Structure 1
Amino acid sequence: MNWTKMMSPAAKTMLPAVAMTVVSMVLTLAVVVMWLGESMHWGVALVVGLGLDGGWLATLAYDRRLAAQGDHSTPITVIGWAFGAVATGVLVAHALGEDSPGAWLAVSWLPIAAKALWLVHGLWERTALTGEALEAIQGIQQEARDEAAVARARLRAEAATEETRLTAVTQAGARVARVQAATAEALSEAWSTLETARQGKETGRALTSVTTPVTPGVTPRWELPVWGPTEPTGPLALETAPALTDAALDVLVDQIRHSESPALSYREMAARFRTAGHSASEVRLRAAWKRVAA
């Protein structure tokens, strides 16, 4: 049977102190009787030894009663240490008077050690907790460890998710950049083709020959789009310009068309019409152009 496991925590610190106190009292009583028995009756020496041990035991008992009440007395503590010091002094003095003092000197520290063990037991009592309190503390510590582990796992998961997101964004950005580069290259080639066609000598003649049967008597100027910056017209001028009648619109279109020689193309006329602040839908403006050109 394992008696250590069956012992209470208080007994584990109290029993060593009790055992050492008993041994110290027995040694002190034996030394006093042997030491004083040579010069007086052994009964008187026994009374002296019992008195020394009794005083020490009474002081110890009173100190333990105060400790059980949660109290403390400095004078009692000092007296207890004084009794321990006297007992140790008696053992040391007896050892020095012997022919072989080694054995007695080896046990002369027991009274002081017994007092120190009672001090350790008192400290344990002042800091001891009940089983329920220890279980609560263990639960709190376990809960804190669980929360810390969950927090670490959450941080690792968030870091992995963020890394995955950044990787996906980077890859998507690279794909967008490749598409933009390919689109820019295709646009550049298209505009280069348009520019070559615009500057060709036979381009205008070919386009005119195609459109002459459709618009007889009109010699338009064919110009392909030019890739370059544009100047947007002011929205306020378009919104506030008054609506024009068909006759007024025809007069404006004719004036703008013949403002230069040769006559302006429809695109140039429309651009100057908008820039001047006039307002007309594309359908009305093109119809006016056809009427004037006819």
Structure 2
Amino acid sequence: MRARTVLPAVAMTAVSMVLTLAVVVMWLGAAVPWPVALVVGVGIDGGWLATLAYERRLAAQGDHNRTVTGVGWAFGLVATGVLVAHAASVGDGAAAWLAVAWLPVAAKALWLVHGLWERTALTANALGAIRGIQQEARDEAAVARARLRAEAATEETRLTAVTEAGARVARVQAKTAQTLSAAWSTLEAAREGEDTGRALTSVTHRVTPGVTPRWELPVWGPTEPVSGRALETGPALTDDALDVLVDEIRHSQAPPLSYRDMAARFRAAGHAASEVRLRAAWKRVAV
């Protein structure tokens, strides 16, 4: 990289010095002896070369001197001025001389660029460390992107599984509700049927002789816990005694209690009777 910046500057400086010397010798050779013109051209080129060498020495030491830099630019401008003046004094070929008149200033600018490159140049170890840091940062970014993509895919899979499971549960619940609804419709139709009571009475006639209850199928609703006393066994009540107890409990509150409340209080009081006998007593008392 150093050769890419220093070689163009060296080549352009050499061409500028040769052109300056040639122009000074041709321009002043007609007015003064040519050795004098040669000395003037060499002086301009020598001063420019000396200031350039001093600038390069200071740059190698990491230093900078504005005076030396100003003198170097002054020699470059003098050389450019000489080329421009020569082009103006020449009738034919003035355009060609003007085309190369900018070379001294361009050479000085190239040395300036080379100096800037030297002040910002890094060693091979530093460049290697920088490349390593950049590669490490790229690796970490790639790993982070891969981790995020994997987490996103996992979350998507989880959400899909949860959604599908929820859909299956919803379908099962809907199917179960539909089945229960159909069963309950069948049960309700049987309960409301004209022959249901007669069929149940003929089946259970031997259980409750002399009683013709109106059988009702169960109705869904809230349940109430049975107290521990209801589970205790006691002496069996006769139908008359059961009727008296049911009537007393039923009319213990105004308006009369419903069968559910009466049955709850009957069992809470410690009395024992089967559900069939208790319901039969309720029917007899209610009628």
TM-score when normalising by structure 2: 0.76
Distance 1:162 1:188 in 2: 38
| 1:102 aligned residue | 95
In structure 2, the residue matched to 1:22 is: 14
Q: Which amino acid aligns with 1:207?
A: L
- Residues 33-79 of structure 1: CA deviation (Å, up to 9, x unaligned): 22223222323222222221222122212222222222322232222
8 Å contact kept, 2:246–2:266: no
User: In the aligned structure 2, how far is the partner of 1:242 from the partner of 1:190?
Assistant: 34
Instruction: Using the TM superposition, give the Cα deviation of residue 139 of structure 1 relative to its aligned residue in structure 2, in angstroms.
Output: 2.3
SS in 2 for 1:163: helix
Distance 1:285 1:83, change over 3 A: farther
Out of 223, 240, 245, the position equivalent to 1:255 is 245
The CA deviation at 1:84 is: 0.8
Q: Is the 8 A contact 1:36 1:42 kept in 2?
A: yes
- Change over 3 Å in CA distance of 1:61–1:280 after alignment to 2: farther
- Structure 1 counterpart SS, 2:30: coil
- Is 1:88 the counterpart of 2:95? The answer is no
* Alignment-derived partner of residue 255 in structure 2: none
Aligned with 1:131 (options 103, 116, 124): 124
C-alpha spacing 1:17/1:176, structure 2 compared with 1 (3 Å): same
The match for 2:39 is 47
- Is the CA contact (8 Å cut-off) linking 2:80 and 2:101 kept in structure 1? yes
Does residue 146 of structure 1 match 2:136? no
Contact residue 253 and residue 269 of structure 1 kept, 8 A: no
For 1:252 and 1:171, how far apart are their aligned partners in 2? 58
How far apart, CA to CA, are the structure 2 residues paired with 1:34 and 1:271?
Answer: 137
Higher mean alpha-carbon deviation, 207-216 vs 97-106, is at 207-216
Residue deviations 1:15-45 (CA, integer Å, cap 9, x gap): 1111211221122122222222322232322
Q: CA RMSD in A?
A: 3.8
State the alpha-carbon separation in 2 of the partners of residues 46 and 173 from structure 1.
102
Seen in structure 2, the aligned counterparts of structure 1 residues 74 and 257 have a Cα distance that, compared at 3 Å, is farther
Distance 1:252 1:141, change over 3 A: farther
Identity of aligned residues (%): 67
Q: String of CA shifts for 1:106-157, please: whole Å, max 9, x gaps.
A: 2211101100110111111122111122222222222333333333333333
The residue identity in structure 2 corresponding to 1:117 is: L
For residue 211 of structure 1, the aligned residue among 204, 212, 215 is 204
Following the alignment from structure 1 to structure 2, what is the Cα–Cα distance between the partners of residues 135 and 148?
Answer: 20
Name the TM-score, length of structure 1 as normaliser.
0.74
User: How many residue pairs are counted as aligned between the two chains?
Assistant: 270
CA contact (8 A) 2:83 2:101 kept: yes
The verdict on how the C-alpha distance between 1:218 and 1:66 changes in structure 2, with shifts beyond 3 A counting, is: farther
> How far off its partner does 1:214 sit?
3.6
Secondary structure of the residue that 1:120 maps to in structure 2? helix
- Give the Å deviation of 1:199: 1.7
Summarize the Cα distance change of 1:243–1:194 in structure 2 as closer, same or farther, 3 Å threshold. closer
1:59 counterpart (51, 58, 65): 51
The 3 A distance-change label for structure 1 pair 288 and 154 is closer
Aligned to 2:158: 165
CA shift for structure 1 position 289: 8.8
- Per the alignment, do residues 290 and 277 of structure 1 end up closer, same or farther by CA in structure 2, a change over 3 Å counting? closer
Gaps of 5+ in 2: 252-257, 282-287
Alpha-carbon deviation of 1:87?
A: 0.4
SS in 1 for 2:215: coil
Please give the alpha-carbon distance, in whole angstroms, between the structure 1 residues aligned to 2:109 and 2:269.
111
Partner of 1:195: 188
Q: Quote the Cα distance in structure 1 between the aligned partners of 2:68 and 2:269.
A: 115
Opposite residue 188 of structure 2, the aligned amino acid is E
* CA displacement 1:152-202 (0-9 Å, x = unmatched): 333333333333333333333333222222211111111111111212233
Q: Which segments of 5 or more consecutive residues in structure 1 lack a partner in the other structure? A: 1-8, 262-267
